[in-house]
Amino acid sequence: MLILTCPYCGVACDETELSPGGEAHLKRFGPGSSDEEFETYLFHRENPKGVHFERWRHAYGCGKWFHAARHTMTLEVFGTYPAQVYEPPEDIKAAITAKVPGWSWRDFS
Amino acid sequence: MSEPVNALGGARFDGIVQVTEVAPQGMITVRGDLGAGAMEKAVMKAAGLPIPAKTSVVMKGDHAVLWMSPDELMVVLPHGDAPAAVAAMTAALKSEHALVVDVSDARAVFALEGEGPALRETLAKLSPADMRSAALPVGVVRRTRLAQVPAAFWFANDTEARLICFRSVASYVFGILSHAATPGSEVGHFS
Ligand SMILES: [Zn+2]
């Protein structure tokens, strides 16, 4: 069972109080993009055994979307952070590096 | 004006805690910038209370203001006062990007009374929320899941908790609360 702390209200949420929102930091490619870009945006997802970034919504609480960085094998949660960012903040990256030196995920490391 | 009617006619269950459906309450959902001066004035005028700190509730007599999210409050007041309060708050927030809605007849309110450990145990049977008094002290609102439906509850004092849910699930919530409070079902985890 995952427990993620909502960065907006500070509540330690049980997994069942949250709605999963899939992979984090996707860049949308819509009208005017190439077929390849659109295919990547729509279908290509990471499926790592290790560090992963996800979107979650505090559905049974404040209703806000947020990001979570966690380890898919150990279920360790490195941290949560607000939705209004294009990439993980430095303190989250540092927390991951402390536990998983040399990690990388898409363009981040 | 039509008479307000409880969802369950003021149902009551006496178990390890007393579960009572509270008489119709006025409940107003307010959304907007909680830091705005106009918001503070509007809430003070409607409820006579300041804007609560994050995840908190402020109470005075039959008025309360609950922090529901970073941009949402719930104002609790006597049922008959709600329409006038909505009109006053809407006018006070005219220049703000804000929303004021009377949700009195869309919610049900329950009071849970009993010894602190029994109260916490009853809610802990139904919700994944951390019910230890350190995690949920008196005056803190917890929006969470109660079995299969959303609910919000808070401890008004050591021996009474209040719980708000959607009116459409009032009967379900009364049922699960009564079941969780059945005499003989004590676990004793919090005592
Ligand atoms: Zn939240």
What residue ranges do the domains of chain B occupy?
Answer: 12-23+106-180, 25-105
Q: Do domains B12-23+106-180 and B25-105 have the same CATH topology?
A: no
Spatial separation of the C-alpha atoms in residues B18 and B183, rounded to whole Å: 11
Beta bridge partners of B57: B66
* ipTM of the prediction: 0.93
Chain A residues in contact with B130 (beta carbon < 8 A) = 12
Q: CATH topology for B12-23+106-180? A: Gyrase A; domain 2 (3.30.1360)
> Count of residues for chain A?
109
Spatial separation of the C-alpha atoms in residues A51 and B60, rounded to whole Å: 48
| A13/chain B closest Cα distance in angstroms | 7
Residue A10 CB neighbours (<10 A): 10
Give the architecture (CATH level 2) of A1-6+18-24+47-109: 2-Layer Sandwich (3.30)
Mutate which: B71, B123, B140, B145, vs A, most A CBs within 10 A: B145
Segment holding A70, helix H or strand E: strand A65-71
B134 in contact with A at a CB cutoff of 8 Å? no
Chain B residues in contact with A61 (beta carbon < 8 A) = 69, 143-144
Q: For chain A, which residues make up each domain, given as ranges?
A: 1-6+18-24+47-109
A19 in contact with B at a CB cutoff of 8 Å? no
CATH superfamily, domain at B25-105: Heterotetrameric sarcosine oxidase (3.30.70.1520)
CB contact at 8 A, B22 and B109? yes
What does the block give as tokens for A3?
Answer: 């427990």
| B151/chain A closest Cα distance in angstroms | 8
What does the block give as tokens for B179?
Answer: 């079941």
Query: Tens of pLDDT along chain B (191 residues)?
Result: 678 999 999 999 999 999 999 999 999 999 999 999 999 999 999 999 999 999 999 999 999 999 999 999 999 999 999 999 999 999 999 999 999 999 999 999 999 999 989 999 999 999 999 999 999 999 999 999 999 999 999 999 999 999 999 999 999 999 999 999 999 999 999 97
Give per-residue burial for A52-68: e unless 16+ CB within 10 Å, then b.
Answer: bbbbbbbbbbbbbbbbb
- pTM attached to this predicted model: 0.94
Distance between Cα B148 and ligand 1 center (Å): 19
Chain B residues in contact with A64 (beta carbon < 8 A) = 69-70
What does the block give as tokens for B184?
Answer: 């003989």
Spatial separation of the C-alpha atoms in residues A75 and B163, rounded to whole Å: 33
Spatial separation of the C-alpha atoms in residues B113 and A88, rounded to whole Å: 45
A positions 43-62 inside 8 Å of B (CB): 60-62
Residue A37 CB neighbours (<10 A): 14
Chain segment A33-90, per-residue pLDDT in tens: 999 999 999 999 999 999 999 999 999 999 999 999 999 999 999 999 999 999 999 9
Distance between Cα A63 and ligand 1 center (Å): 6
Distance between Cα A60 and ligand 1 center (Å): 8
Distance between Cα A62 and ligand 1 center (Å): 4
